[in-house]
Structure 1
C-alpha cells in the first residue's frame, strides 16, 4: 500500500499501544521509527525502565497508529514488539544528541530498541477503511 507508506513517511510522531496486566490497551505518543523496512519492521527508541517495555516483555501484542490530521487520514498497524538490548540494535538507531535521554550513551542500560513486526493494518481515508495483511 503505497498510500499507507506515504503516511508513515510523513508522520513525525506516532501512537504506540501495548496491553496492560488487566488486558486493557495503553497508548503513548512516541517519535516515529528511526529505521524501518516498509510497513513491516519498525525500530523505535525508548527507556528500558519504561512501563511500555515491561508490558511488551509480558505481552508482545502492539499497534502503531499514524495520522494526518489535516486530511483526516489514519493508519493502524497490528503486530508484535520485541525489546532489543543488544549492541548492534542499539547502534543501528542511535543518533547524536540522544545523550539527552540516555546520558551514558549507546551503552546506557536504560536505552533499548523496540522492534515492531507488522502483521496486518487498516488504512482510513475519505470515509472509507481498507484492511490488509502485511507480507
Structure 2
C-alpha cells in the first residue's frame, strides 16, 4: 500500500458500518456491527458511541484488546486494525462526538449515564487487496 493514511482514511470515511471485536471472559472473540466512528485522528485513533450498559463495554473493561474491521465490498478490499479500546465517560469526550438525533438512543441527552464513548487506538494494520495481504505497525 503506497499511502496507508490516505487509503485507510478514505475507506473508513466511506463506511456506515464497521465491525468491532472484543474478547469475552472465556477468551473467545466477539464481533459486533457498529456505526462507523464519529471522529478519527488519522488512522490511529477512532471514537464510537455506545451504551454504557452494553456487553461490549463490559468486555472492554475486563480486556481492552480490540479490533476494528472494515471492508469495501465493491473492490473486495479489507482492513483490520488491532489495538486497544478505552471507555470514556467524561463530558468533554461525550460532547465531542454527540450529534443531533442521538436522543433516540440516549433519552437524557449528552449527560445520559447510559451514553459513553469508545476510544479505539490502533497499534497495527492488516490490509487485503488484489489477492495480497500486508501487515504493518502504526507508530
Interval of TM-score (by shorter of Structure 1 and Structure 2):
over 0.9
When structure 1 is superposed on structure 2, of 61-70 and 4-13 the one drifting more is 4-13
| Shift of residue 4, structure 1, vs aligned partner | 2.0
Q: Which runs of 5+ in 2 are unaligned?
A: none
Q: Which residue of 15, 26, 35 maps to 2:19?
A: 15
Matched, 1:107 2:111: yes
**Partner Cα distance (2:109, 2:7) in 1:** 36
Q: Which residue of 1 aligns with 2:136?
A: 132
**Partner Cα distance (1:4, 1:92) in 2:** 22
Q: Which residue of 1 aligns with 2:71?
A: 67
Task: Give the TM-score, by structure 2 length.
Answer: 0.95
Query: Any idea what the Cα deviations from partners look like across 1:53-110, whole Å, max 9, x if unmatched?
Result: 0000000000000101111000000000000000000000000000000000000000
Matched, 1:84 2:88: yes
Give the 4+ runs in structure 1 shifted more than 6 A. none
Paired residues in the alignment total 135
**Partner Cα distance (2:76, 2:114) in 1:** 36
SS of the residue aligned with 2:118?
strand
**Partner Cα distance (1:65, 1:8) in 2:** 10
**Partner Cα distance (1:9, 1:128) in 2:** 23
| Shift of residue 9, structure 1, vs aligned partner | 1.5
| Shift of residue 10, structure 1, vs aligned partner | 1.3
What is the Cα-based RMSD across aligned positions, in Å? 0.6
**Partner Cα distance (1:131, 1:4) in 2:** 13
**Partner Cα distance (1:105, 1:4) in 2:** 32
